[in-house]
Structure formats: C-alpha cells, structure tokens
Structure 1
C-alpha cells in the first residue's frame, strides 16, 4: 500500500468592534432572556458573534431573506478577520459571547482550552436529529473534535482545494503537453523561463511564481506529489512522525531548490505576498501558479486588459512517479473551517440548544445557501436552465452578499453553481481531489506542548526550509535544525500526540 493510501486509511480509523456592532455582545436579545420558552418551530431571536472577511458588514437586504428562511431574528456582532485572534481571546476570557460563536482558530490555545473546559455545549449527540446536520460525515466530526468530543457544528470546507494553474497558450506556443509528473512540470518551468513563451524576444518570464507561504503556496502541494504526509504521519503501531522528518519532504525541498537555482521561479518568492504573486501572473511574468485551483478565475479576470490572450489549464493529477496509484493531495485542516459553537452561558438549556441547532441546520438548506452565496435571484444574479448563476451587479453583490460567504456552514455539494466555465472546472477538480485527499491524523489530537510552543517551534522548521531552498544551509544544517526542534519541545509534542492518539483509538 502506498504512503498516501496508508495515510488515508490511518486517519479514517473578543470584544465587539463598535463601528461594526449590529447588536450587543452577550446574547442579551435572546429568546430565553425575554422570558419566552424555546420551541424548535417558533421564531427565535439568535445572536451570532461572527467573523467579517470583507471591508464592511452586509446590509439588511439579503439578511432579511435569510431570516425568513430560518424563521429567526439574527443579531450579528461582527469581528474583523484581521483582529479576530485578539477579539475572540478577549471575548472568551470575559464571557462576552453570543448564542452562536464562530471559532475558526481551532489551533489557538485559548480556543482549545475554552472548548475543553466545558464552556460550550457538546453537540454530537444531537446532530442526527436534523436532516442537514445528520449528513456531516464521521470523519468530519472526528477531525473537528477535541479529546473525542465535538463542541460545535463544523464548518465543512472542500477537503483538498489545491492544484496547478498553467498558461495553456504558452504550452501550445512551445509545443508542450500538460504535465502529469513533477519532472514534466520542471521541464515546463524551464521552457517558460528560457524559451520566450510570450514571444517578445526578452528574457522576462519565469516558470513558477510563488509567495512566502510554505502551506498555501507551492511547497505543500508539491510535497503531496512527492508523497509527503499531511503535517503528521502515523504508523500502524501509533508512532507519530512530523512531515519534515520524512524523505518526501526533503525531495520537495530539493525540487524547490532546483527551481530557485535555475531561475525557474521568481527569485523573491520567499518575501512575495499573495497579491503580488497573483499580479505577476496576471501581468504575464510567469506561467505556473500553484495554490487553490479556484484562484484561476480571479487570475484570468485580473489579466483582462493586460494579457487578453491568456488561456489557462487546471491540473490536479500530478505525481512524482507517473503512477495513478500514487496520486495524493493534502487536505487543509481536514476540511474543517472551524466551529459554530454554542456557549452554555447564552444557550441555557437543551431546549435552547435544539432551537439553535435547527437554525444552523436551516442555514444549510439549498435556498439559504443560494442567498449566502449568490444573493437574491433577479437582484444579484440570474439563473439559467442548468442551475448556473451569473452575477448581475458585481459591486452590489460584494456589498450585500459577499460578507455572508464565510458564514456558510457548508460550502459545496449544492445544485446551484457558478456559470463561469473556469469556476465550473475548478469545482469539478476540487471534488475529484477528495478521492485522493490525505488527512492530518493529529488535527484533533491534544498536545500541551504544541498548544504553548507550537508556533515558535514551527518557525524553526519554516526558517530552515527556506534556508535550504535558498542555499543558505545544506542537508546537515537542516538536520541540525530538526534536532534543535526536538530538543526544544518537539520530542515532547511527538510523545504527547502518540499518547493522545492511543487514547482516542482505545475509545
């Protein structure tokens, strides 16, 4: 059995911002606070401490429709994404919460400790009573649990969204086929760098364009193609190995170093921001982008008026061996985007909990999903006979609809879909990726050392990885960094994860 299949088998076994405040924190407007008994079928007043990923909160236009569909008066308290860690930590410490609390940072020690402390309801015993919640898979529930207990409804994200976006017009101009192996991808990178793919007679292009992100940039996706485990690898006897202590991780570093040494990648990738990376691609300065496959639509839109001849091909089936059996792609957070959690201080009893769970269940209906994704038909989008949606007014959509997108408990699996062909193709490949997704077996496990030192220790490995790729250290230097990681707390993390894994397996 190949490593990817082994990994899949092993893992299967805040204070409110005043200018954004739409309602007071603390759930003061809840139905229970008004003295009315909770009834699952009655209209409820539900407060929601939520994360805002856009510049401003949405207007009431779409909100009113969502309230109709969920039979609820929703009182949002919005926290800007940029300050979510500080605000959520403060809200947890001061018990300034709401009926529903969006928790996206499940690796944050304050969040994990609050969940483990009993501050929030355990919901797994109730999910199967609701049609949409009942469909949440056991793998998802397990991945979103802490110490084997599920303290909220998981945000269900696509398991594996990454792949390779390539300039098809450049491939055609140079007579190249779409690559299926890492070796073929390297040759495309060479040709895009050395063979003048844009035909302007200048040496002004590179193959890859990347950014300073070893996870959501090129590195981790490429590492999947070499068979690197997803963060951690667990053996059949429960031994845990971090990804950077495996040979495929070293092979990935060598691959990236080869790209860098030969100039097949932008030489400033280690300090390049995502927006700059995308701009460079859109401006025709590179032809290979590794990241979320759905970024392709945005890349093409950004290129309009600059690279109007740009054609893209999306690739998700690259391996280092050329064998289909070795296909693998890492799953970001095991497809978990966080939790919708329900504090006991606000949701007072089981009756209230059931009403709030029904509200979340209703958010996952097809019609509510359409509202939170596309808006109101005829106002924000039009629909063709195949269920494909086209946005009518982008500015209006961004103002009234887009802020809700990150609040969807489930982001895929619905009939309504984007009319853009490139978005449809990326959705298809992302769905296909699920069959080859490699989960992180330690995602739901507890390690006190990781909770207190994990970020600091990971920085040691991140720095060493960059230094290796940039030629500042050799293999011996990297091995020394790994030993320092172990001696500084890494060995304790391994032991604690092994103990936690053993305990979970015995339950």
Structure 2
C-alpha cells in the first residue's frame, strides 16, 4: 500500500521506535525480574495504535509468559519484514503474513526458522491443526511455523441498504447490476442531502484484499494461478477474467463511480470514508461490516448494511466463485533459530502458542473481559458493551490469534452472525490457489519484484494510462525477466506431486 509521504514517514518512524523500545535489538527468550519466561513477538498491527495492558496482563497471567510485543504497522509490513530479515533484527516469534514475499520465502527455505511439524502433536491444541492446513502452509514438505488458521474465503460485497432503498434498486446479483448501483450511488443523491458528494465504490491501494481480486472472482479469474488437466501452469493475469476485472474497474474509475484516489488510499482511510457516508459499496472481508457499522455511529446513524456473497458476471449460480489465494492460511507464526536457541526454548514457545489457542485466551483476544468489554447471553453470544474500550484494549490482538475458527463463544451481533454464515457458505464456492504448496526457486528469489511489473501495469490500465497492448507488453516483460522460469518450475513441482501419489 502507498500512503501519502508524510503519513508513511510517520508510521515507519513510529514502527521503528516501537521495535527499538520493545525488542531492544534482541529477541532472546529469558526471564523477567519475577522469574516469568519472557517471549518477544514481532507482530503486525492492523489498528491505529497498540493495545493497552489490560487484556495483555490477563493473557500473560494465563500463559505464565511476559510478552514483549514489537508492532509493525500493516501498511509498511512488507518493507519492515524485509529489513528485519536482512538485518537479523527478529524476535522469538515473528508473524509472517506475506508468505509469497521473496525475502520471507527465501528465509524459510534457508533454515532461518525452526521446522515445527515434528512437534505439533505433542500439544493438545496444536495437534488439532488439520493435515490439509499443515500441507498448505508447508514449503517443500516442511512446516516452518504455526499456521495462522483463517476462513478459506471471507470476501464479498457490503452495501448501504438504506441507499439502495432510496434509489429504488434491489440487492445486486450480477456485476452489471452492481455497476448500476455504483452509478446510482454516484449520481442520484442516495443520502438525500441535496449535494453531489458520494461515489458508488470506495476502495484502497490493494489489488488483493481490496475490490479487484473479489471482482476478478466474479469474472472467473483463477486464484493466483491455474493448472490445466495436462499440467500447464498459467498466471491469473493471463486469464480473460483478469482483463474483464480490469475493464470493470476502469469503467468505475472513468465514470467517477469509485473514489478517484483509490490507488493511493489506505485501508483506514477507506473504512473511515465509508463510515462517513462518502460511498455506499465496500468490497472486502464480509466481517468488516460490523466494524464499518460501529465506526459510523454518531456520524451515519441511519446506516443499514446488506452483505452479498453470490454475485456473478453471468447470473448463473453455477458460475459462483470466490478467491482463496492462501487456502485458509493467514501466514506463519515462526521461530527464528537466532533467537530461539535450542529445542527446549522452541518447545516453550510452542507451549505458549498452544495456550493462545485455548478457548479462554481466544475469548480475551477477540472479545476481551466479560462484563468489562462484552456480555454473554444464554446462547454463548458475545455483545461488545463498551466499543471504545474494546477498540483500545482488545481489537489490536485480532492479528495475533493463531486460530479464528471453531470456538464456542460467537459474536451475537446480527451483522457478525450473518457475515459468519456467508463466509462459511463461501467455502463451497472457494477457488483455491493450486500452486500454494508447490515450490519454485525463482519465485522465491524474484517473485515479489516480478509481481511489481504486473501490479504497476494493472493500475496503469485501470487508470487509463495503458492499453491492452501495453498490458501484454508488461506480461512479456514479466515472462522474460523470470516468469517463464517460474512457470516451468511450478509445472515440474506439480508433476513431481502427481508422480508421488
């Protein structure tokens, strides 16, 4: 993502200060003054600020660990992780949420982190990680961290239902109908304030977790790669669906149906813009609906939301699809050998991870403390009773949970109940990334840099600065620069898997 220069500088500096203050240049496990084990954790922060100590103290009490967090802002995670890996400024636990990143993948393959697969079955909660999840998160058959278990496919479209009613349109079921909604939300004063001050879509500078990849699913784009029956591997951007998704977003941009600065908009600004009533269509994780609604309170109190997960470009149910690039793997919680010195320390860290996967700790990291942050009904439904306090003391831990699925306590909020239902339904229509567990040395070395060629060309096409010929030239450059080699290596890896069956 690309922030405005000043904002990026501020975030990078604040992240560097946090890393320096918390990690002190070393992630070695040890004990504090009270004799409690100290574990440092280089983690990703998806909120504006780190959590206060209230819930952290409770987690430390249950796990009997003094946790020293070093927080990296989500917007600068790739740059910061690359720097940390290159300099060796790591911690006992490192949250690796971008496994496709070349630096991350190279570090995993080079043995920077402990292989944990042989140890999982020694711990009651880690033992429950399915073999499919272990396989998907492995590299060349080896698991170099605890898989962060997410829903397989969580994305969809969130719309202002009150605006739909105002302009007299039904909930869209096709991409054409969604375009009509975007047009109406831009041109027909959906908020009724007499001013032309809204757009249909509000998006951010993220071609994966923003609108683009989800729209691509509706046009039949593969999830990252496709493998044909004869074993031929093709990147998603060579599919017709990818072109159709670019054309769709280009139409949105050209007609003003999307925020014109989407290519440089941060997620925080996107969500705040939606909550402030600047737009009525948000494409992303369906569970974002609750956060968007809460963010709008006091600003857009008349907001009504509806979520849609069954949009297609054809109108045919048989064409329903939603991407799942990482196959439910949200990353790895990895243990560097430079910080975790021996097997005894590794097992202490694994025991800590196992404790984090307990119902009690999951509840703390998700809902907080009962009767302080949330109340519980007779059906194990949790309701946040102090939103501001929850945002300060609980919400930042959402990026730290090793597992998000299968717990007894559930969110009682109607929007969260509905988003959970739709996300579970998405599993049936999820399109998995067929090369996710395959290995390509060239992709590990050059994949991130090569992807920049395609990302830049995609934005230029959508913004009208490049035509179809120019985009094909970018693909040719990608192929000549290493893409052809990546394809060949993935095809060989896929064939090797078939031969071993």
TM-score grouping bracket, smaller chain normalisation: 0.7 to 0.9
Residues 354-380 of structure 1: per-residue CA shift (max 9 Å, x gap): 443333222111111011222222333
Tell me whether 1:123 sits opposite 2:116 in the alignment: yes
Tell me whether 1:414 sits opposite 2:415 in the alignment: no
Cα pair distance change 1:30/1:140, threshold 3 Å: farther
Residues 314-335 of structure 1: per-residue CA shift (max 9 Å, x gap): 1111111222222111125322
Gaps of 5+ in 2: 1-14
Tell me whether 1:157 sits opposite 2:150 in the alignment: yes
Tell me the residue number matched to 1:11. Answer: none
Tell me whether 1:103 sits opposite 2:96 in the alignment: yes
Moved more, 313-322 or 386-395: 386-395
8 Å Cα contact 1:16-1:25 kept in structure 2: no
Tell me the residue number matched to 1:503. Answer: 496
Mapping of residues 254-269 of structure 1, within 5 Å: 254-269=247-262
Tell me whether 1:298 sits opposite 2:299 in the alignment: no
8 Å Cα contact 1:257-1:470 kept in structure 2: yes
Cα pair distance change 1:489/1:415, threshold 3 Å: same
Tell me the residue number matched to 1:76. Answer: 68
Tell me the residue number matched to 1:51. Answer: 43
Tell me the residue number matched to 1:246. Answer: 239
8 Å Cα contact 1:30-1:99 kept in structure 2: no
What's the CA shift for 1:296?
1.9
Residues 414-436 of structure 1: per-residue CA shift (max 9 Å, x gap): 22122322222222222222222
What's the CA shift for 1:156?
1.0
Residues 481-506 of structure 1: per-residue CA shift (max 9 Å, x gap): 21122122221221222223333444
Tell me the residue number matched to 1:235. Answer: 228
Tell me whether 1:437 sits opposite 2:430 in the alignment: yes
Q: Among residues 191, 202, 220, which one is paired with 2:213 in the alignment?
A: 220
Cα pair distance change 1:148/1:64, threshold 3 Å: same
Tell me whether 1:205 sits opposite 2:206 in the alignment: no
Moved more, 341-350 or 317-326: 341-350
8 Å Cα contact 2:42-2:91 kept in structure 1: no
Tell me the residue number matched to 1:487. Answer: 480
Moved more, 240-249 or 105-114: 105-114
Gaps of 5+ in 1: 1-13, 32-42
Moved more, 229-238 or 52-61: 52-61
Q: TM-score by structure 2 length?
A: 0.86
8 Å Cα contact 2:43-2:71 kept in structure 1: yes
What's the CA shift for 1:52?
4.9
Q: Distance in 1 between matches of 2:341 and 2:261?
A: 54
Alignment coverage as a number of residue pairs = 483
Cα pair distance change 1:112/1:16, threshold 3 Å: farther
Q: Distance in 2 between matches of 1:212 and 1:15?
A: 23
Q: Distance in 2 between matches of 1:349 and 1:188?
A: 58
Q: Distance in 1 between matches of 2:373 and 2:435?
A: 42
Moved more, 328-337 or 54-63: 54-63
Q: Specify the SS of the correspondent of 2:156.
A: strand
Q: Among residues 177, 180, 186, which one is paired with 1:184 in the alignment?
A: 177
8 Å Cα contact 1:25-1:49 kept in structure 2: no
Tell me the residue number matched to 1:29. Answer: 30
What's the CA shift for 1:67?
3.5
Cα pair distance change 1:55/1:165, threshold 3 Å: closer
Residues 94-147 of structure 1: per-residue CA shift (max 9 Å, x gap): 656554333333233333233223333322233234332232223321221111
Q: Distance in 1 between matches of 2:56 and 2:208?
A: 34
What's the CA shift for 1:285?
3.3
What's the CA shift for 1:409?
0.4
Tell me whether 1:317 sits opposite 2:310 in the alignment: yes
What's the CA shift for 1:87?
5.7
Q: Distance in 2 between matches of 1:422 and 1:142?
A: 33
Q: Distance in 2 between matches of 1:465 and 1:472?
A: 10
Q: Distance in 2 between matches of 1:295 and 1:257?
A: 25
Q: Distance in 2 between matches of 1:285 and 1:25?
A: 45
What's the CA shift for 1:385?
1.7
Q: Among residues 474, 492, 496, which one is paired with 2:467 in the alignment?
A: 474
8 Å Cα contact 2:29-2:340 kept in structure 1: no
Tell me whether 1:286 sits opposite 2:287 in the alignment: no
Q: TM-score by structure 1 length?
A: 0.85
Tell me the residue number matched to 1:10. Answer: none
